[in-house]
């Protein structure tokens, strides 16, 4: 196995914070479109991939990452142009990182952007997003009907139903990547048109949907991160990485809702985290609620020992 010099390795970071009920991702301005932070691995200096990531994030953004988790390794050649050109193949190992609200200071050249600016069809907190019925579903239907063969139409129809929870299929908050990839395949996100630029000069493409474009395949990476994060809060208490040491239950609920993209039943949420042993009261109270003061809680680290797989469990049938 010879060293492969025609290959570049990088690390991508999806750095997430939640401020004021808005889930945000750290983005950089690389060219026209926002991009995720990207850094190289120093094969000599960095003993592990994760340490390498922490090193350059710290150097570049002055951010000290708390929770870090490897997401996925992206290495598909999605631009036709790459094929013949002498450009090296890019392989990127993507990481998900969570930082606390307070530490989320804006660094020069970087900004915290609402994740749902990039994936507007994922926010169901105030009911089904309008963009879905107005733009996404009709465009997908058009794509479905444009298939040449009946069988292909059937396949597309099922994929659409499953991904977006239509026609009786339950909606599944975790399938963020599946939804994005469907939209990409259907040519409904700007990235798809950009990537196909040279090979497809056909005029039958839809105009791209609302939702901000990102550089390279970064929106795909973001979708992967959001899906993973939504799944993770089910069975691991990761939300607390995003909160100050002490918080009210409503604050906690809002953070979970922001990530999950669905509204939760307040009383049941309280029951879940309290009876699940995830939090403990501090005895202190927050009177800035606008109503009855709320007790300040803190995360019970012991829960990791008692109930190793405990999370805040999202509802199967969220309220509308």
Partner DNA sequence: TCCAATTATTCTCACTGTGAGCATAACCAG
Partner DNA sequence: CTGGTTATGCTCACAGTGAGAATAATTGGA
Nearer to DNA, 159 or 270 (CB): 270
284 interacts with DNA by CB under 7 A: no
Q: Which stretch binds DNA (CB under 7 A): 27-35, 40-48, 157-165, 243-251?
A: 243-251
Q: Which stretch binds DNA (CB under 7 A): 142-150, 193-201, 224-232, 263-271?
A: 263-271
- According to CB under 7 A, which one of 48, 267, 305, 308 is a site residue for DNA? 267
- According to CB under 8 A, which one of 19, 70, 213, 246 is a site residue for its own copies? 70
168 interacts with DNA by CB under 7 A: no
Q: Which does 3 bind (CB under 5 to 8 A by kind): DNA, its own copies, none?
A: its own copies
154 interacts with DNA by CB under 7 A: no
Q: Considering CB under 7 A, how many residues would be counted as binding DNA?
A: 25
- Residues 138-167 as x/- pattern, contact with its own copies by CB under 8 A: --------------------x--xx-----
Using H for helix, E for strand and C for coil, what is the string for the chain?
A: CCCCCCEEEEEEEEEEEEECCEEEEEEEEECCEEECCEEECCCCCCCCHHHHHHHHHHHHHCCCCCEEEEEEEECCCCCHHHCCCCCCEEEEEEEEEECCHHHCCCCCCEEEEEHHHHCHHHCCECECCHHHHHHHHHHHHHHHHCCCCHHHHHHHHHHHHHHHCCCCCCCCCCCHHHHHHHHHHCCCCHHHHHHCCCCCCCCCCCCCCCCCCCCCCHHHHHHHHHHHHHHHHHHCCCHHHHCCCCECHHHHHHHHHHHHCCCCCHHHHHHHHHHCCCEEEEEEEECCCCCCCEEEEEECCCHHHHCCCCCCCCCCCCCC
Contact positions with its own copies (CB under 8 A) in 28-57: 40-41, 43-44, 47-49
126 interacts with DNA by CB under 7 A: no
Contact positions toward its own copies, by CB under 8 A? Answer: 1, 3-10, 40-41, 43-44, 47-49, 70, 72-73, 75-77, 88-89, 91, 93, 158, 161-162, 168-170, 172, 174-175, 304-309
């Amino acid at each position: 196995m010879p060293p492969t010099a025609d290959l570049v390795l990088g690390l991508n970071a999806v750095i997430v914070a939640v401020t004021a009920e808005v889930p945000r991702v750290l983005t950089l301005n690389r060219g026209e479109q926002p991009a995720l932070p990207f850094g190289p691995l120093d094969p000599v200096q960095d003993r592990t991939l994760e340490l390498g990531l922490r090193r350059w994030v710290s150097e570049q953004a002055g951010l000290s990452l708390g929770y870090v988790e490897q997401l996925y390794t992206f290495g598909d050649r999605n631009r036709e142009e790459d094929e013949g050109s002498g450009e090296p193949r890019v392989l990127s190992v993507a990481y998900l990182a969570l930082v606390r609200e307070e530490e989320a200071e804006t660094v020069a050249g970087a900004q915290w952007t609402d994740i749902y600016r990039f994936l507007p069809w994922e926010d169901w907190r105030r009911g089904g997003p309008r963009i879905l019925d107005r733009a996404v579903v009709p465009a997908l239907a058009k794509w479905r009907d444009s298939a040449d063969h009946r069988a292909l139409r059937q396949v597309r129809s099922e994929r659409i139903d499953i991904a977006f929870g239509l026609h009786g299929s339950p909606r599944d908050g975790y399938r963020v990547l599946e939804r994005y990839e469907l939209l990409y395949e259907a040519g409904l996100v700007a990235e798809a048109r950009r990537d196909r630029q040279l090979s497809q000069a056909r005029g039958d493409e839809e105009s791209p949907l609302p939702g901000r474009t990102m550089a390279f395949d970064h929106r795909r990476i973001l979708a992967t991160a959001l899906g993973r994060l939504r799944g993770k809060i089910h069975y691991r208490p990761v939300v607390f990485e995003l909160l100050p040491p002490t918080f009210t239950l409503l604050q906690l609920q809002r953070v979970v809702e922001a990530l999950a993209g669905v509204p939760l039943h307040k009383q049941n949420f309280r029951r879940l985290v309290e009876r699940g042993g995830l939090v403990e009261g501090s005895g202190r109270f927050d009177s800035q609620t606008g109503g009855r003061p709320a007790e300040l809680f803190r995360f019970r680290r012991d829960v990791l020992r008692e109930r190793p797989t405990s999370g805040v469990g999202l509802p199967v049938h969220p309220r509308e």
